[in-house]
Amino acid sequence: MRTFKATLITPQGSLFNGTVTSVVAPGEEGRFEVMARHENIIAVLKKGILKMKVENAATFFAIDSGVLEVDGNRDVVILADKAIKAESEEDAKQKVLTIETSVA
């Protein structure tokens, strides 16, 4: 499976910086998946679960609003207002409930 670089950054700093096989994100228009060689995009994210997959393993984060960009190098950069690392998808679901939504 092809891999690419993904980075998750919050105002507090970088929470994830590694090589992944896909990223599943909670977009404003619904959940979507980014895989290697994805076309360049910028997507608005909403409160939900962010999943970084590497082969058969996954890392989960509960996030508030943010932006995901697939850049010209086909790398993914996620800028989230808030993010909490979770132990599992179920843990991430619980942590999403504890995140206070940012007020603009």
Give residue limits of the domains in the chain: 4-98
Could you report the per-residue pLDDT of 66-94, keeping only the tens digit for each?
999 998 778 999 999 999 999 999 999 99
> How many Å apart are CA 19 and CA 5, to the nearest integer?
5
Identify the band that residue 104 occupies on the pLDDT scale cut at 50, 70 and 90. Answer: very low
Topology annotation, domain 4-98 = ATP Synthase; domain 1 (2.60.15)
pLDDT of residue 99: 86
